[in-house]
Structure 1
């Protein structure tokens, strides 16, 4: 039986590139994204690039927590050994889900929290690698998560002009990604499941800019001058998901395959715990993690909880 991998946001951009790279290793890959038609096109493109690739599609709207729960149930029964959380959106500030949650918050943070935590709390068939695609550690250093206003109820601190505020909200969710990586890795220490984050760089060819207006659109145009291609963006997440050198590495954030330091506000233990507990409340899970797979589930020896490595950003 082939190893099973899951990649979210896989209907194009770096998600498609990551899925193709994993398929080249011989693993079966489940492509997850909202649009069934775009997913099918991505599957055809990957099969053209990787003849014989074993691919499936799982249409799911990751801004809908009910769909994320159902996805986690379906995937959990199959025990994937690789999960790459890549899906993201820069949504307008007034874009709310039916549950009243900001769409960027749900898609970018709560969905991976719910999916990866749900999978992590099931017994594993063997070692697993979870990879969360985040943002630039240096670029996000001045945009700490407002733990008292995750859902942007007050909108404080989003700055001016108003057209740029969706990007600030997005930046906060990318810091949430790093915080979630550290919190989940600590909880899964010694279980055989590793959790790491990666910054893909500024990349052309995605759909993050589809809602851009005004100053944000201008900002995106300027950034695109320096942007790399999707293959470049996929490199570090793919490396973390498949490379022998990354085996056993956990609780770290990587830029260009190098462990990088993220801002102190993303590593503070009290802030990590607050975000974990508030996220649990918002997705309807108990604050305390459920059953953690033991060493007997994975064949791994237990070790002390990892600490995020402090290194020089690339």
Structure 2
């Protein structure tokens, strides 16, 4: 990459996000790591600098579950050169877990935060005539086909709609937010068509050491999280970082936008994620929830 290329990576204090940041740093990209805990941000930067001597890094503190902090982060980044913006942060939270702003935590972190941050910064970059690659880290299109977004219940108020046993419902809700990610990728790519901004999604694969469901979940979901954490048969975070980093840096995808990739291959996601009416509805509801205009 060219010297001076700058990337912003959310959820970059461990797992796939840290691996993305490290691989970008190794490609001589200046990396802005976004995390919610100062100690974890500093520790991640130290690990990356140990692996990549001379890495050019800085940390930005923001809890992406809080829309007020996402807005503040976007404001702080307005004057930063951004060539790459990778949305990786994600959580699995109980359906009853709401933030201090009253938003269900999985919805806020996994969908509303990237909607607010990438839309705001993407539109700003486009208005300034700049070029950039926006990448959203999603999940398996195959696994998510059977759990379409419930457009009348984005905040998961109807717990029974997420199946049984109840202890696994948070993971179903997580999957629905990953379908929201794909829908958002297609819609934002359309909104920014004809500018220098590309928007694509990527499935990193089933990766160990992500920590999803390991700390806050219960029952089967907690067991699932721990099995992912320790399973030696699963690939590690570097494998999960491969496709997002390739989308962010490779000349092979110059100008490619509005696509979803698995193992560097362009794949189709479920029809319920590509349907124009459903995407328009999600876009409008997300705008209302984040305080953005439906059309800029």
TM range (shorter): over 0.9
Q: Name the TM-score, length of structure 1 as normaliser.
A: 0.89
Match for residue 216 of structure 1 among 221, 230, 234:
221
Residue number in structure 1 paired with 2:187: 183
Q: Equivalents in 2 of 1:48, 1:221: separation in Å?
A: 28
Residue number in structure 2 paired with 1:111: 113
| Secondary structure at 1:211 match in 2 | coil
Contact 1:12 1:206 in 2 (8 A): yes
Q: Please state if 1:162 is matched with 2:166.
A: yes
| Secondary structure at 2:162 match in 1 | coil
| Secondary structure at 1:272 match in 2 | helix
Q: Name the TM-score, length of structure 2 as normaliser.
A: 0.94
Q: Equivalents in 1 of 2:198, 2:128: separation in Å?
A: 12
Q: Please state if 1:248 is matched with 2:255.
A: yes
Residue number in structure 2 paired with 1:48: 50
Residue number in structure 2 paired with 1:57: 59
Residue number in structure 2 paired with 1:236: 243
* Structure 1 residue 223: Cα displacement: 5.3
Query: What is the Cα-based RMSD across aligned positions, in Å?
Result: 1.3
Deviations 1:165-201 (A, max 9, x none): 0001100000000000000001111101000000001
Deviations 1:106-144 (A, max 9, x none): 000000000001001213463200000001000000000
| Secondary structure at 1:286 match in 2 | coil
Q: Equivalents in 1 of 2:259, 2:293: separation in Å?
A: 25
Q: Equivalents in 2 of 1:191, 1:119: separation in Å?
A: 13
Q: How does 1:121-132 map to 2 (within 5 A)?
A: 121-122=123-124, 123-124=127-128, 126-132=130-136
| Secondary structure at 1:254 match in 2 | strand
Contact 1:79 1:124 in 2 (8 A): no
Q: Equivalents in 1 of 2:217, 2:93: separation in Å?
A: 9
Deviations 1:80-124 (A, max 9, x none): 110000000000111101221110000000000000010012134
- Unaligned segments of structure 1, at least 5 residues: 291-314
Q: How does 1:1-314 map to 2 (within 5 A)?
A: 2-122=4-124, 123-124=127-128, 126-209=130-213, 210-221=215-226, 225=231, 226-288=233-295, 290=296
Q: Equivalents in 1 of 2:27, 2:193: separation in Å?
A: 26
Deviations 1:197-226 (A, max 9, x none): 000011111221222321213334555645
Q: Equivalents in 2 of 1:124, 1:86: separation in Å?
A: 25
* Structure 1 residue 8: Cα displacement: 0.2
Contact 2:211 2:226 in 1 (8 A): no
Residue number in structure 2 paired with 1:308: none
Q: Equivalents in 2 of 1:234, 1:263: separation in Å?
A: 23
Deviations 1:274-314 (A, max 9, x none): 000000000001111x2xxxxxxxxxxxxxxxxxxxxxxxx
